[in-house]
Amino acid sequence: MASSITTVGFVIDGPLGSLLVTKLPRSAYHIQLCKVNPINEGDHKVPTISLCRSPKEAAEGASIICFAICDLQQLEEAIVGALTGIADGTVIILNGLISPSYLVNLEQRIAGSHKDVMLIDIYASINKHSELKLLASGNDKALEKARPILSALCNGWVVADGVLGTASKIQMVDKLLLGIQIAAAAEAMALGASAGLNTWDLYEIIINAAGNSYAFETRVPQMLENNDVSEMQMFTIENMIQVMDFILGEARKLLFPLPLSAIAHQYFHTGSSCGFSALPDASIAKVFL
């Protein structure tokens, strides 16, 4: 393989990880891909992707390895496996809802066994225009080494001021707002429908009024169309329950009350108990039907 080709490892478990893989230009990067879930046979058709049976195999020979895994236990197991094949000087990029305290502990553990391996945490999200946006945090040396791949993944990625874990903290706050606003959007539209309003007219008015939000603008059309499939949206009701569980848990560590988040959490639990757990998060509106 030509020396101009950079080898990057990916260990993923869902659609956001798959999206990150597709963003890298094949002419400049060779990808070693390990999926925690069963491998999609379509990946075999891409010559610049090597499918790996384990995180260790994905890490071998890679200068950067990116983890996009939702479940913390699966993430820990994948990292432990990858460290057995990782080379000194490698940058580990972590994407997902990860406790800042876990990141600090992981950094200390890695420093004891792999002195030159560095960590970055990123917050990868999709905006309402279906564009990938990245927020990254870590030490300057790690960010500089990861700059080419972060730039390849996303034009105009942003560095969060602060130490490792800052991006994850920002993601936590952002997801808190998202969960509350999805629940509020469903409740608001249900109220409008009960009051006899034309819901599409109501939607068009609110997206140009003070009550608009990203969640309202992107989720309400799915609610009104009763659409269970969204190309842009990657969260199910079960995912949102896990997200809100995480946020409430982190808040308890800080002894910080989150009454609105707790109510939104119950909304999503109600949707799950009605059999909607595998449906997109906008399906929470079905609770009011």
Domains, the chain, ordered by start: 6-163 (3.40.50.720), 169-288 (1.10.1040.10)
Rounded Cα distance between 232 and 237, Å, is 15
Rounded to the nearest 5°, which phi and psi values hold at 151?
-70, -35
Distance CA 138, CA 204 (A): 41
pLDDT attached to residue 81 = 94
* Cross-strand bridge partners of residue 137: 121
- Residue 115 has a pLDDT of 72
The pLDDT score that the predictor gives to residue 171 is: 95
Q: What pLDDT is stored for residue 44 in this prediction? A: 46
pLDDT number for residue 42 = 52
Question: Are 107 and 130 spatial neighbours (Cβ–Cβ below 8 Å)?
Answer: no
pLDDT in tens, 29-45: 999 999 987 655 455 45
Amino acid (one-letter) located at 57: E
User: What confidence tens digit (pLDDT) does each residue in 224-234 have?
Assistant: 987 655 545 56
| CA pair distance 142, 145, nearest whole angstrom | 5
What's the pLDDT score for residue 33? 95
pLDDT of residue 4: 75
Number of other CB atoms surrounding residue 57 within 10 Å: 20
pLDDT tens for the 289 residues of the chain, in order: 445 788 999 999 878 888 889 888 878 899 999 998 765 545 545 557 899 999 999 999 999 999 999 888 899 999 999 999 999 899 999 998 899 999 999 999 998 887 789 999 999 988 777 788 899 999 999 999 999 999 999 877 999 987 999 999 999 999 999 999 999 999 999 999 999 999 999 999 999 999 999 999 999 999 998 765 554 556 899 999 999 999 999 999 999 999 999 999 999 999 999 999 999 999 999 998 7
pLDDT of residue 45: 53
How far is 144 from 148, CA to CA, in rounded Å?
A: 8
The angle at the Cα of 83, spanning 22 to 253, to the nearest 5 degrees, equals 85
pLDDT in the model for residue 1: 43
